[in-house]
Each structure stands twice: as structure tokens, then as C-alpha cells.
Amino acid sequence: MPKFSDASLAKVKEIIARYPEGRHKSALLPVLHMAQAEFGGWLSTETMDYVASVIGIQPIEVYEVASFYTMFELQPTGQYVLQVCHTGPCCLVGADKIIAHLESKLGIKVGDTTSDGLFTLKTVECLASCGTAPVMQLGRRYVENLTEAKLDEMIESIRGNKS
């Protein structure tokens, strides 16, 4: 059974207090973000049930929301999730090629995780970074103006740190 640290529980309380009395459900998105970060990068049924109990809503309300929003992972992912934008403006300047390159470099298809569990490759819709395209989200930041060389270097350095 997952359980937030005391500091996180205090944070949850502070978040709930941002909304009027009786509107604690408003805290759901921010608390799910916290839960995903704290409990292994994805939302298991146990995690979602726990979030439901912490906020005081029905589990189905959490499942509905978690499955609606794309940032919530309902399956375990690799340690690094590469989320490459594949919407129009990025594709005008080479996002398709970047994705193909990543597939061959990592030896996986979009949606899959490498066998060493290091990388998951995903495509996402417009990240609001069309002026510095191609772009991907990596954890809590963006990597912009992607080139094959830049990605190779990044992947090698992550692999290097692990071995």
C-alpha cells in the first residue's frame, strides 16, 4: 500500500485548502501528479485508490480522471520517458525523422520500453514549443531544437552513467 511522506501529506493538505470548503475534489490533478512522482512514475490501482482515500472521493472518480489525461501513466514506464512532439509544426522541421532515429537508436517502437528498462519512447501532441522544434519532454523539462547528434549524446551519457 503506497503512503505519502509526512511532508507530502502536509502538501496535500495545503493544496486542498486552495479550494473552497467541500471542493476538495479540485485537488485531484495536483495530488495525482505528486503521487505519480512519488510512487514510481506511474499510477497503479493501489496508488489511485490511495489518492481517492486521501482526498475523500470514490476510486472510480480517480480512474476516470487518470485515464482521461495523457500525462498520467497507467502502466509502468522506463526510467527515462522520451516524449517527442509529433504535431504539425514539429513535423514541418523534422520531428518524423527524429522519431525514426530514436526508434532505431533505441531498438524499440514508439510506445515501447527498452529491455534494460532505461527508456520509454512516446509521441505526444503539441508541447507549445513549435519555435524551438523539434522538441521532447524529458521528466520535468523540455529538450528543444533536437538533432540526431544531440540525442545520441544524451542517450550515450545516460547509458554511461548506468553502467
Partner 1 sequence: MSRKILLEHADVPGIDTFPIYRQHGGYDSVEKAVKMDPMAIVEEVKTSGLRGRGGAGFSTGIKWSFLDRKSNNPRYLVCNADEGEPGTFKDRYFMEKLPHLLVEGLIVSSFALGTHTAYVYVRGEFFWIIEALEVAIAEAKAAGFLGKNILGSGFDLEIYVHPGAGAYICGEESALLESLEGKKGYPRIKPPFPAISGLFGCPTVINNVETIAAVPWIIVNGGPAYAAIGIGRSTGTKLISASGNIKKPGVYEIDMGITVEEFVMSDEFCGGLLEGRTLKAIIAGGSSVPILPAHLAFKTAAGEPRLMTYESLFDGGFASGTMMGSGGFIVLDNTACIVRNTWNFSRFYHHESCGQCSPCREGTGWLEKVLHRLEHGEGKMHDIDLLVSISKKIEGHTICALGDAAAWPVVSAVLHFREEFESHVKNRGCL
Partner 2 sequence: MKLIIDGIEIEVEPGTTLLEASRRIDPKTAPPAMCYYTGLKDSGGKCRTCLVKIAQSSPNNPRPAVRLVPACRTLAEDGMIVQNNTSQEVLDARKDVVELLLINHPLDCPICDQAGECDLQDLAFKHGVSTTNYEEERRRYPVQDIGPLIKLHMNRCILCFRCVYVADQLTDGRCHGVLNRGDASEISTYIEKAVDNDFSGNMIDVCPVGALTDKTYRFKNRVWFSRPVLAHRECDKCCGQTVVWLKGNEVIRVTARKNEVAEVISFICNTCRFEKKSLADWEVEGPAHVSRESVISQNHYERNTIIPSLGSSDV
Asked if 124 interacts with partner 1 (CB under 8 A), we say: yes
75 binds partner 2 (CB under 8 A): no
By DSSP bridging, strand 80-85 and strand 136-138 are: antiparallel
Helix/strand/coil for 147: coil
Q: Is 61 in the site for partner 2 (CB under 8 A)?
A: yes
Work out whether 64 is an interface residue with partner 2 (CB under 8 A): yes
- Among residues 86, 102, 122, 143, which is the contact residue for partner 1, using CB under 8 A? 86
Is 59 a binding residue for partner 2 by CB under 8 A? The answer is: yes
- Does the protein bind partner 2 through residue 42 (CB under 8 A)? no
Neighbours of 78 (CB within 10 A): 20
Q: How many CB atoms lie within 10 A of CB 50?
A: 20
In sequence order, the β-bridge partners of residue 82 are 121, 138
Phi-psi region of 72 (alpha: psi -120 to 50; beta: other; left: phi over 0): beta
- Interface segment toward partner 2; rule CB under 8 A; list 59-67, 83-91, 100-108, 147-155: 59-67
Interface residue list for partner 2 (CB under 8 A): 45, 58-61, 63-64, 67-68
